[in-house]
Structure 1
Amino acid sequence: MPAGKSHKGAPAAAPASGGDRIGSLPDEILHRVLSFLPAQQAVQTCVLARRWIHLWKYATGLRIVGADGNAPVPFEEVREFVDSLLLLRGSSPLERFEVKVAGAAIDVRNLRLWVRYGMMCNVQVLRLKVHGNAPALLRFEDPPLASRYLTKLELRGLAFNKDFLDFSRCPAIQDLIIKECSFKHAERILSQSLKHINIVRGIFNNLSSRTPIHTPNLASLKLHVSGGRTPILDRMPLMVSADVLISSCDSCSRSDNGDCGDESCKGCIPNDTSSVLLHGISEAEKLLLASGSKTVYLQLKRSYSCSPYFKHHAYLKDLLIYMAATCPVYFQEGLEMLPYF
């Protein structure tokens, strides 16, 4: 075997006292170590020694972030670098792929290609975060994600198209975290495998339609609606905990209690229609409902056992309701909870 060569994965010769201890580690460990570095720094290790020339290509994680490892990197600063990096790296499998960019004019075409690259490399955890004054709009031709390896997805600063959140072709995904994104054009959130959803400061459709969330195997939900129409939750029989905060104004201005009677009213839910949220969260063991705007009426029957929404009330261990300090709360006897919740 030529000098300086070793089997892949085998450690180099033991260093003398005070020698290169990092260089003596097996390749597999170095691949994992390099995965924690920003991609720019990981690539620079190729100048350390002959052995390091190609190690960065097999790192188990790829991070397109700022030099400090946390801040977003300017998009224009790394666009060409990332395009070249992905070509040179090849299709080595990825456990984690993180893109955190900022800028006023982010080209979504590049983001789309980068995400597709992650899917090609069988990425398990994908983080795509855009920092800017306006959400980066995913075009309507951008297809839904498709991967049997993806287990966790984190998104920030995006405006979704109608199908992007359809995860029917991602059978292993279990965790979804979405922050400061627009759902105005999203037709649905759909998944049979999701276990946990965390939506923070979501802007939903402010017209007549509501975004349905169909995730029947969900165990935990955190939903913060900061604008637009409150989404519709389908039944979630495995729900353990749910935190719901409605900060937007999603109610009728002409009626304080129930349907105002105008069929064209966008702020009402007709009396013969099911509740927007309670079908999904009524079977949770821990339930938190919070509102930051307007008067909220809560109509509950005297006993949970009589309520169509809390028929499994024996499992409900904690029910917390928080309102803004200036928001009065009225408890009334009635047949069902009002459309606001």
Structure 2
Amino acid sequence: MAETAPKCMRAGAAGNDGGDELSALPDDVILRIMSFMNARQALRTCVVSSRWRNLWSALPRINAEFFEFDTDTEGMETVAEDDEVAFKRFVNRLLELRDPAALMEQFWLRYPSSDDYNLQVDSAEANRWISHAIEKKARSVELVAMMLPLEVDNAVFTSRYLRTLGFCNVFLVHGFFKQLETRCPALEDLYLGDWLITDDEISFQKLKYNE
């Protein structure tokens, strides 16, 4: 069973407490380095040093990738239920245990949804995670839905800080583009791939649209 965020935090071994060059770096530099890792890799750095143990909780960039939990050796045609559950539990705990004062620059999510019966629940969960990132003033948000398309909740996107937004394999409903125009005044770049839409009012007047 895949480890969860709190387990890694509790199990952070008291390793080298500063005898190497990495441990001597300022916290903001270490956080910047960790930001180039996916979320699970960044969390594992808690075993490097006791000083690093809780740094992950202030990560400015979160890249939540399902492939780190995928035990299926036959590719993405199927997703093991246990892997999917472990991934969702991990992301939930990761966001719950972040430093409440820490802002977020970027949130990238690669999310598996393999069951038609769970699409509504899966969509709601992904929207809740994105909402958390936007509440933390994220400037870049990206959602890639793996396998089945997820429905994006228009109401989530209200931000004075969001500049870049990307979606792949999602379902956009009526009012989505109007919401972006009126509620995300700083948005400059919109990336869409494999998208389904019922919105008949599509406007890109303020956006650099990429497909």
Aligned pair count reads 175
Q: How far, CA to CA, are the matches of 1:67 and 1:80 in structure 2?
A: 13
Select the structure with the greater relative contact order (CA < 8 A; seq sep ≥ 6): 2
* 1:172 alignment partner, one of 186, 203, 206: 186
1:127 lines up with 2:145 in the alignment: no
1:245-324 matched pairs, under 5 angstroms:
none
1:150-299 matched pairs, under 5 angstroms:
150-166=162-178, 167=180, 168-183=182-197, 185-190=198-203, 193-194=206-207, 196-199=208-211
Q: What residue is the counterpart of 1:110 in the other structure?
A: 125
Q: Report the AA paired with residue 200 of structure 2.
A: E
Q: What residue is the counterpart of 1:88 in the other structure?
A: 97
Q: How far, CA to CA, are the matches of 1:86 and 1:144 in structure 2?
A: 16
Tell me if the contact between 1:62 and 1:96 (Cα under 8 Å) persists in the aligned partners: yes
Q: Residue 62 of structure 1 aligns to a residue in which SS?
A: strand
Q: How far, CA to CA, are the matches of 1:47 and 1:176 in structure 2?
A: 38
Tell me if the contact between 1:176 and 1:198 (Cα under 8 Å) persists in the aligned partners: yes
Q: How far, CA to CA, are the matches of 1:192 and 1:31 in structure 2?
A: 36
Q: Residue 23 of structure 1 aligns to a residue in which SS?
A: helix
Q: How far, CA to CA, are the matches of 1:156 and 1:175 in structure 2?
A: 14
- Greater Rg over alpha carbons, structure: 1
Please identify, of 83-92 and 147-156, the stretch whose mean Cα deviation from structure 2 is larger: 83-92
Tell me the TM-score normalized by structure 2. 0.75
Provide, for residues 225-256 of structure 1, a one-character-per-residue CA deviation record: whole Å limited to 9, x for no partner. Answer: xxxxxxxxxxxxxxxxxxxxxxxxxxxxxxxx
145 and 189 in structure 1: CA distance in 2 versus 1, 3 angstrom threshold? farther
Q: How far, CA to CA, are the matches of 1:24 and 1:170 in structure 2?
A: 40
- Name the structure with the higher strand share: 1
Provide, for residues 45-95 of structure 1, a one-character-per-residue CA deviation record: whole Å limited to 9, x for no partner. Answer: 122222111111112200101339xx9896433101111111100441111
Tell me if the contact between 1:96 and 1:126 (Cα under 8 Å) persists in the aligned partners: yes
Provide, for residues 278-332 of structure 1, a one-character-per-residue CA deviation record: whole Å limited to 9, x for no partner. Answer: xxxxxxxxxxxxxxxxxxxxxxxxxxxxxxxxxxxxxxxxxxxxxxxxxxxxxxx
Q: Report the AA paired with residue 129 of structure 1.
A: V
163 and 89 in structure 1: CA distance in 2 versus 1, 3 angstrom threshold? same
Q: What residue is the counterpart of 2:12 in the other structure?
A: none
Q: Residue 63 of structure 2 aligns to a residue in which SS?
A: strand
Q: Gapped runs of 5+ residues in structure 2?
A: 1-17, 70-74
Tell me the TM-score normalized by structure 1. 0.48
Q: How far, CA to CA, are the matches of 2:209 and 2:204 in structure 1?
A: 11
Q: What residue is the counterpart of 1:137 in the other structure?
A: 151
Tell me if the contact between 2:131 and 2:156 (Cα under 8 Å) persists in the aligned partners: no
State the Cα distance separating 1:175 from its structure 2 match: 0.5
Q: What residue is the counterpart of 1:77 in the other structure?
A: 86
1:58 lines up with 2:58 in the alignment: yes
Q: How far, CA to CA, are the matches of 2:22 and 2:202 in structure 1?
A: 45
Q: Gapped runs of 5+ residues in structure 1?
A: 1-14, 200-341
- Name the structure with the higher helix share: 2
Tell me if the contact between 1:171 and 1:192 (Cα under 8 Å) persists in the aligned partners: no
Provide, for residues 247-284 of structure 1, a one-character-per-residue CA deviation record: whole Å limited to 9, x for no partner. Answer: xxxxxxxxxxxxxxxxxxxxxxxxxxxxxxxxxxxxxx
**Over aligned residues, Cα RMSD in angstroms?**
2.3
Tell me if the contact between 1:144 and 1:164 (Cα under 8 Å) persists in the aligned partners: no
**Aligned sequence identity (%):** 27
Q: Residue 191 of structure 2 aligns to a residue in which SS?
A: strand
State the Cα distance separating 1:42 from its structure 2 match: 1.0
Tell me if the contact between 1:143 and 1:163 (Cα under 8 Å) persists in the aligned partners: no
Q: Residue 33 of structure 1 aligns to a residue in which SS?
A: helix
122 and 130 in structure 1: CA distance in 2 versus 1, 3 angstrom threshold? same
